[in-house]
Amino acid sequence: MRVRFAVLLAAAALLSAPSALAQTGKPAEGAASQEARKRDAKAKFIQGREALNRSEYATALILFRTSQELYPQPGTLLNLALCEERLGMLGSALVHFQEVVRLLPPGDERVSIAKNGAAMLEPRAPRLRIEIAKGTPEGISIVRDGAPVEASDLGRDLPLDPGRHVVVVKAPERPDRPYEVTLVEGAREVLTVEPAPPPQAVSSEPNPPPPRLGGERPIAPLAPGGGNSVELPAPDRPRADSGAGNPMRTAGLAVGGAGALSLAVGAVTGILAFSKKGEVDTLCPREDVCSEEGVSAERTGKALATASTVTVIVGVAAIGAGVTLFVLSGPKAKPAAAIGPWVSPGGAGLGARGRF
């Protein structure tokens, strides 16, 4: 591959001399301006050839691009394609080789150089085909790597450089939808695109009226006939306290639980004291005759008996206090009588009502 490229490079150097810039490449313009552009293009072309001969391909690429923008020429484009091939820009190089073949007349010796360069890149340059999904509305536009994609290029395998490419679909009144694809040498990829969905429409329905406050009721109309008074409904009564979160009820449960635990301790110590009494009866058969073990067992039994008595008394008291707190924390009774407003054709006022 290097040998073939060297041959192309040498041939391009011979056939793309600076004098080639004298060819007519743009429509006629002011003589002075055109001559200035040609001089600048020629200088950039010579600098590019020197950089290319030193294998400074990136520098040569920039110089050839500048020269081509100032004064487009097939010879400059041919050298540009050679630099792109050396830098791995396979798709760009292939497109430019093919463009040189179209620009030059058939008998030009540089045509064979461009054809050979294109033939080498045909199997290497990756392709990307962009297709539009079925049902896509009209009026969309597609941009690839910042450049618009023509409608004639859709559905075609277009040669691109290896690497990452971004395709953006644009549609009226819709957000842009980007797609990303990474191409490798020799790849053939198909990308099906569609626009982003339209933004959600804002609801045009009026906001619902704010909810009425709790207990708010409309005033009842007067009764027909004019003689009957109409009593306004009494406001809603608060619900009875269920006890959830009541500190008195919580305290009652806690105190009662502690009392039950104290009773349990008293029962256990009482059993242990009774057991020690049996040991004392065995070790001390008479009041004036008792071993050291019997004396120790007697002392332990008395201590356990005292502890049992105290814990039982405390437990009973705690349980009583807990029950009292629990009962007092319950809901209070509601009065049987209620006072409410009344309205009649002759006046209005407050009245008391009783329930049985």
Q: Per mean pLDDT, which of 216-230, 308-322, 323-337, 342-356 is the most reliable?
A: 308-322
Among the ranges given (21-30, 61-70, 84-93, 181-190), the one the predictor scored with the smallest mean pLDDT: 21-30
Residues linked to residue 193 through DSSP beta bridges, in sequence order: 132
* Residues found in the chain: 356
Q: In this model, does residue 83 exceed pLDDT 70?
A: yes
Q: CA-CA distance, 65 to 72, in Å (whole number)?
A: 9
Name the CA radius of gyration of the chain, rounded. 52
Q: Which residues contact 55 (CB under 8 A, 6 or more apart)?
A: 86
Q: CA-CA distance, 262 to 318, in Å (whole number)?
A: 9
Tokens coding 12: 């391009």
171 against 7, higher pLDDT: 171
Tokens coding 66: 């500048």
Model confidence pLDDT, tens digit, residues 26-77: 455 577 888 999 999 999 999 999 999 999 999 999 999 999 999 999 999 9
Model confidence pLDDT, tens digit, residues 237-294: 555 454 556 787 787 778 778 878 877 887 887 788 777 777 767 767 666 666 677 6
* Closest among 163, 117, 125 to 1, alpha carbons compared: 117
Determine contact, residues 283/291, Cβ cutoff 8 Å: yes
Model confidence pLDDT, tens digit, residues 111-166: 999 999 999 999 999 999 999 999 999 999 999 999 999 999 999 999 999 999 99
Determine contact, residues 283/238, Cβ cutoff 8 Å: no
pTM of the model: 0.52
Q: What is the mean pLDDT of the chain?
A: 79
Q: CA-CA distance, 250 to 173, in Å (whole number)?
A: 63
Quick one: the chain helix, strand, coil %, rounded to 5? Answer: 50, 15, 35
Q: CA-CA distance, 214 to 212, in Å (whole number)?
A: 6
Residue 272: C-alpha distances to residues 94, 165, 259, 312, 340 (Å): 105, 89, 20, 14, 67
Coil, strand or helix at 235: coil
Q: What's the distance, CA 241 to chain centroid?
A: 45
DSSP 29-42: --HHHHHHHHHHHH
